[in-house]
Structure 1
Amino acid sequence: MSNIAFEDLDEKKDLPRKRLRERLTAGTFSAEWTLADWLVGTASVTLAVASASFFCWSFAVSLQSPDYFQQAALANMPPKLDQIQTGSIDTSNAMPAPEIVRLREPTPEDYQIVMVFRNEALLATRDELVRVKVGSVVPGLGSIRTIDAEAGSPTVVAENATLRGVANTNAKP
């Protein structure tokens, strides 16, 4: 073979490079595709690959830990705490409660038992109805020590007096 044959092969190898160089310097990549077409095509392929990657990742995570996404969503949510139950009440904007004004302080004789249920009792005076339980402080009676509904007649023992209710005559023996 002569040197001419090798020169033809070298020119054939360099031909694609020359064409690419000509296309790049000419400003268009192809006669049919403009630069905008190439950008849109590249963005579309990148989006498709990213979407497929995200789908594969989320599918693999859901197989490993089925509750992962639910726990992640709940972890990012602010807790909804009831302010009354937690004790964190904003008292600066609290609505004022009416103050009880009595003509005279009640005495133990003013109270009567309306109802006793579980460990609580409803006591009444002429002007008020009071719900009490053991430890409550009631004006005129003082601190409530015991509440008993099982002794035949309801009994409320306070610091200053003991209140007894009327016996239930309708109770079955």
Structure 2
Amino acid sequence: MSISELDAKHVEALTQFFLQLPEGDVTFIKEAVTDPATIQSWADSPDAATRWVALDDNDNNDNTVTGYLALYRLPGCSNHVGELRLVVHPERRGTGLGRELARLGLSHALRTGLTKVIVELVADQEHALEMFLKLGFTGEALLRDHIRDRDGGLRDLVMLAHHVETTREAMTAVGLADELGGA
């Protein structure tokens, strides 16, 4: 497996990745990821996000996407905050891929000067919540009945936050500042 920054050569494989996700997963993704034009637009004109794809290098074709990560810098007076959006293929969940992608996002946040990273999750995504909590995220907000699933049911949304500046200070204190890549 390898992780690469998204570019034009990944568009078809990433589109297939999103089309293969269970409908319940796609419901809670903010962008229209089943529209190939959305994926193409990401590769053609990068916006406020940096995006990565996890690739199965054992695939003999054009590399199968097994995970996706985006780190969005929020606009305006919140431009010190980044939002992580992470999706792992159901067959790869529980393998550490999500944790590796989340760590990449946090590392990139440190290198680019973000001081806080948030992630939004459906409250019943227990394994994802546990993973982010182990990475140092803490509860920021619980929004009751905030999102509607495809069946019309209301679901709670949890927002977690990671204050990455604390991580930077801790790494510097123990002599690991070089790990930040000059940040």
TM-score, structure 2 as length reference = 0.20
> Highest CA radius of gyration, 1 or 2?
1
Q: TM-score, normalised by structure 1?
A: 0.21
